Amino acid sequence: MERNPYAPPVSAVADPAESRSERPKEVTLAVKLLWASFFIGIAGVFLRPAQQVPFIAVLIVSIMAFGFWAWVITSIAKGRNWARILFFVLVGIGVVFALLFLSTTLALYRERPFNGFLAAINYALEIYTLYLLLRAPAREWFNQQPAQ
């Protein structure tokens, strides 16, 4: 078949395939724990006490926050080291604020023990996830350069 001189040029265009070594079991478990924490957080939004803020505002902010969090989790699963570092920073900030407002937090959880239980599980999951992502196999996997 003859080439049409009026046809646009054709070129095979594709992003280079990223290949990494197999994801370590620590990272796989960490990603599963992050998703568990994610869904516990979503449940926590609906178990909040009634406030002065309209529910639609809480819903909009929650959608944005959980969308961002899902993006971070999927980036960690893909081996993005910046996402792992961002996770460390966000968990660190969360722990600092929890400690700064410990008396207020404890009073709230005494009033609503189930919310406190979910928060404690979430903190435990995040701290264990930090541990998993800091272990040597995970650290090496995140720091390797993907082959082009």
Average pLDDT of the segment spanning 27-45:
93
In a domain, 14, yes or no: no
CA–CA separation, 116 vs 118, rounded Å?
5
The pLDDT score that the predictor gives to residue 147 is 57
Q: pLDDT digit string (tens) for 42-100?
A: 888 877 766 677 878 888 999 999 999 999 999 999 999 999 999 999 999 988 988 88
CA–CA separation, 98 vs 49, rounded Å?
18
In a domain, 19, yes or no: no
- pTM for this model (two decimals): 0.79
In a domain, 39, yes or no: yes
Q: Which residues contact 40 (CB under 8 A, 6 or more apart)?
A: 118, 121, 122, 125
The pLDDT score that the predictor gives to residue 116 is 83
Please check whether residue 119 is in contact with residue 109, taking contact to mean a CB–CB distance below 8 angstroms. yes
CA–CA separation, 78 vs 92, rounded Å?
22
Domain count, the chain: 1
In a domain, 147, yes or no: no
In a domain, 2, yes or no: no
In a domain, 101, yes or no: yes
In a domain, 118, yes or no: yes
Q: pLDDT digit string (tens) for 1-12?
A: 677 888 888 777
In a domain, 75, yes or no: yes
Q: Could you list the residue range(s) of the whole structural domain that residue 43 is in?
A: 25-139
CA–CA separation, 23 vs 77, rounded Å?
9
